[in-house]
Amino acid sequence: MSARVEEIRLNLGHIELAAHVFGPVDGLPVIALHGWLDNANSFARLAPRLLGLRIVALDLAGHGYSQHRPVGASYHLADYVHDVLRVAEQMGWARFGLLGHSLGAVISVQLAGALPERISHLALIDGVIPPTAGEQEAAERLGMALQAQLRSDGKRKSVYPTIEQGVQARMKGMVAVSCEAAELLAERGLMPVPGGYSWRSDSRLTLPSPVRLSEAQAMAFTQRIQCPSCLVVAEQGLLARHTTLLEQLPFEQVVLPGGHHLHLNDEHGATLVADCFNRFFGFA
């Protein structure tokens, strides 16, 4: 197993993104997309274990070392999808695979459903569709989002006196991770500020979405996917309890022990996910 990693920056015209690159130059092209408030180090344990792939693991806009979106812009799913497509164009990849965790899995499904002819493989970890809402909730949701945007003006980020305290805060986040996982994310996520350290991620990422798809709209993306698709469901993750959703998906599904970040929390989980995906990509 080679852990060799290349750091690159990709100027997409409208934004500049940072990324880690793994694997042989002639490997099967794959773009890896991390989860909400994570960064490219989400794949630090998994990517070196994946065989035969040329992996570009992005810091999504507003995360890690990538730029934040301009003032007045938002972080809509369609904007992330556009970013990924621009990355593929810059890499010269007419057809490529997607490896996504959580939010990254949602983005991957959206792109694979929107432009199925561009995607060769779809490898997902504990994520498929975004949170959905009924049509009758649209106005109320927009109002809630607008109020949250106004309240966020001038709001300061949390400052942690030490890196260790920043890591502990990430361990206890909305989705808990192991200490080792939090340390890996902190390598690209924490930055020095007066008084200590803050997380680099754009604070606007925590604002509520002004628009949500209906369940029918979200599922329509899964039905348009044409490429081989494999979904890893974490036994103690976020998807396992959504049995009705899982039964509707036209994907190969593998249930593995571990939590939502099973590919990052420890070496054993990373190995289990890698074994699954190496078989899926045909390099086992």
CA distance 239 to 237: 6
Q: What is the DSSP string of 22-84?
A: ES-TTSEEEEEE--TT--GGGGTTTGGG--SEEEEEE--TTSTTSPPPPTT----HHHHHHHH
* Cβ–Cβ < 8 Å for 118, 98: no
Q: Which position among 42, 102, 120, 229 bears the catalytic label?
A: 102
Query: Could you confirm whether 102 is annotated as catalytic?
Result: yes
- Terminus-to-terminus CA distance in the chain, angstroms? 13
CA distance 99 to 84: 12
Strands 229-236 and 252-259: parallel
Calculate the CA 165 to chain-centre distance. Answer: 24
Angle made by CA atoms 50, 55, 57, in degrees to the nearest 5: 115
What is the edge-to-edge ordering of all strands in the sheet holding 6-11?
Answer: 6-11, 16-22, 53-58, 28-33, 96-101, 119-125, 229-236, 252-259
* Cβ–Cβ < 8 Å for 251, 224: no
Residue 267, number of CB atoms within 10 A of its CB: 10
CA distance 41 to 187: 8
Catalytic residues: 102
